[in-house]
Amino acid sequence: MMTDFGYTTWILIIPFITFLLLSFFGMRLKGLPAGITGTSALGVVALLSWYTAITYFTGGGIADGGFQKIVAANAVWLNLSDHLHIDMGVLLDPISVMMLVVISTVSLMVHIYSLGYMKGEKGFERYYAFLSLFTFSMMGLVVATNIFQMYIFWELVGVSSYLLIGFYYDRPSAVAASKKAFIVTRFADMGFLVGILILSFTTKTFDFVTLTDINGPAIASKGGAVFMGMSLMTWSMIFIFMGGAGKSAMFPLHIWLPDAMEGPTPVSALIHAATMVVAGVYLVARMFPVYYFTAPEALHIIAWVGAISSLFAAIIALTQTDIKRVLAYSTISQIGYMIFSLGVSGYGGHDGLGFMASNWHLFNHAMFKALLFLGAGSVIHAVHSNDMKDMGGLRRYMPVTNITFLIACLTIAGVPPLSGFFSKDEILTAALHHNKLLFAIEYAVAGLTAFYMFRLYFSVFHGHDRHYHHTPHESPATMTVPLIILAFGSVFAGFLPFSRLVTSDGAPFESHIEWSVAIPSVAIGLLGIGLAWVMYRKETALPDRVASFFSHGYRWAYNKFYIDEVYIFITKKIIFRRISQPVAWFDRHIVDGTMNGIAYVTQSVSSMIKGLQSGQLQKYGYVFITGVIALAIVFIYLVK
């Protein structure tokens, strides 16, 4: 039985109205009331989202033995041609409904948490206005009925991320980070737009339902014309993935995410851990049938990009000392997992295990990574520093933060029966069936993840006290309650029957734990934890000795493999000097010179003819009559 989901448009409208209210009247609300307004509006959105999810999954979305794509609302916005039009609407299917729950829940937690964390900050109302804008944009992105609507909201998400990273606009580093994030993701989005244009050219539609219909024209076209060895469809899907890779900070477009940690920590939890950065995963999941049936090469690229990013980021995370940067690299690594999992997935039934696992991991990751960030925020709130060297022994002062953080670390390390264990197991199983080398990489990453997370945990919560300015204390309830709620989510999300809810073709299938994969992966996780225990639980010289043993490798990893420097070399030394400067010279001298010349001629002609306007009436009459006579002569005698 299909239910009417028209009310879901309110999920978009409410945050947008909140944004308008807070931006125009926020100043009058003065601090806390603004935050409470934003939070309660989001509470309503979260309730609506949960209600939608429950009705959808318990029958509202089921027909013909599977979950259907339901267009809950749709309006034509721009008519481009008879076939091509841009719509605005709400599309519900398992992944978008799941995302609604993820976004609204994490966003609500962050809203509540920020009441404590951002208390007394300058621009408190502005902060909440931006959060509402972000929530609106992100919701619009996931419920988009067509790829163009998605692109519009995709950019809005980018803008709100930019605004929030640069929230402390009086800090030069925050401003630089926000610009970097915006420019890098914009660059990637250029690829996205090119991809959309090629896609609409080949398939004559933007509509997701038509595009992903496996019997529809888009998939039946088998990719269209061939260009440089690949079909147009493959090209377009690769370009579209470029946009996804930029937003999801995949190698080599990942450079903006660590810097984005300049934003307030709750923002990092919401945007740069749980929701926006998984937009790339969502994009590929949304277009998955198109990828699978028309562009398998693109899917192959996706698998490798995901695998390399996860390995690469995990290695860097081993060496970082800034607590938020470790988490940022860990985010890149985990998103790499999800992207990779989509890349190795098949379509339909148990073949679509990777698809299901990816979404499941997305869901779990949102919970535990938001928890990690909010926990880190709690620590930063207590010690006023981001650097792990300034932290130690905090478990005695911050019991709630300690326990919840530990739960999150165990979850990400894949210790059963926490949620991370289940989704990671499914991802590794899918990988094993696909490609042994990729499996080996991801298996190694599982060990690295456990190690760097517990390195972080032990150095922050164990070991000696540092010289704190004042005794660290547990954060207020507004901050600890979200931690506890998210910890519950992290623990129990593994028991959700995901394979019966979110699948590649909408039809449920049975999944079970593959013990031959699970046992080794738990083993390597425990090994990582054990190593971290030995090296970091008590402060010893051991870590330094290890670091100096791997001195070159350590330095490379510590400097993030110099990727930023490569970018700077390419932009400053090559693009600016070799391309931009000559172009600028041409522009300044030739183009401007021509324009100035024209302007000069215009001005002089204008001053030459000014005598015509003398103010004397008899002259006006003279010109009038002359004009008439001239016209008469020309058109009677000369031009007939």
Which residue, 228 or 612, is less far from another protein as judged by CB? 612
How deeply is 288 buried, as exposed, middle or buried, from its count of CB atoms within 10 A (0-12, 13-18, 19+)? Answer: buried
Which residue, 541 or 609, is less far from another protein as judged by CB? 609
- Helical (H) or strand (E) element with 305: helix 296-319
Q: Report the nearest approach of another protein to the CB of residue 601 (Å).
A: 11
Across the chain, how many H-helices and E-strands are there?
27, 6
Binding status of residue 75 toward another protein by CB under 8 A: no
| Span near another protein by CB under 8 A; candidates 97-105, 279-287, 314-322, 623-631 | 623-631
Which residue, 519 or 595, is less far from another protein as judged by CB? 595
Q: Report the nearest approach of another protein to the CB of residue 298 (Å).
A: 37
**Which residue blocks in 204-295 are alpha helix, DSSP H?**
208-212, 217-220, 232-247, 256-259, 265-269, 279-286, 288-294
Binding status of residue 631 toward another protein by CB under 8 A: yes
Q: Report the nearest approach of another protein to the CB of residue 605 (Å).
A: 6
CA distances from 164 to 64, 326, 593 (A): 44, 20, 42
Q: 10 Å Cβ neighbour count for 548?
A: 10
Which residue, 228 or 609, is less far from another protein as judged by CB? 609
Q: Report the nearest approach of another protein to the CB of residue 631 (Å).
A: 5
**Judged by CB under 8 A, which of 497, 553, 582, 621 binds another protein?**
621
Q: Compute, in degrees rounded to 10, the torsion defined by CA atoms 131, 145, 289, 3.
A: 100
Distance CA 264, CA 476 (A): 17
Q: Report the nearest approach of another protein to the CB of residue 615 (Å).
A: 6
How deeply is 610 buried, as exposed, middle or buried, from its count of CB atoms within 10 A (0-12, 13-18, 19+)? Answer: exposed
Q: 10 Å Cβ neighbour count for 34?
A: 23
Distance CA 197, CA 214 (A): 21
Which residue, 63 or 625, is less far from another protein as judged by CB? 625
According to the 3-state scheme, what is the secondary structure of 334-400?
Answer: HHHHHHHHHHCCCCCHHHHHHHHHHHHHHHHHHHHHHHHHHHHHHHHHHHCCCEHHHCCCHHHCCHH
Q: Report the nearest approach of another protein to the CB of residue 608 (Å).
A: 9
Q: How many chain residues interact with another protein (CB under 8 A)?
A: 27
Q: Report the nearest approach of another protein to the CB of residue 619 (Å).
A: 8
Distance CA 319, CA 448 (A): 11
Residue owning tokens 């860097």: 316
Amino acid (1-letter code) at residue 510: E
Which residue, 65 or 615, is less far from another protein as judged by CB? 615
Distance CA 70, CA 51 (A): 16
In 3D space, the residue among 323, 467, 340, 331 whose CA is nearest the CA of residue 401 turns out to be: 323
Which residue, 228 or 608, is less far from another protein as judged by CB? 608
Contact flags string 576-615 toward another protein, x per CB under 8 A: -----------------------x--xx-xxx-xx-xx-x
Q: Report the nearest approach of another protein to the CB of residue 124 (Å).
A: 27
Binding status of residue 171 toward another protein by CB under 8 A: no
Contact flags string 285-324 toward another protein, x per CB under 8 A: ----------------------------------------
Which residue, 544 or 587, is less far from another protein as judged by CB? 587
Which residue, 519 or 632, is less far from another protein as judged by CB? 632
Chain residues in the site for another protein (CB under 8 A): 599, 602-603, 605-607, 609-610, 612-613, 615, 617, 619-621, 623-628, 631-632, 634-636, 639
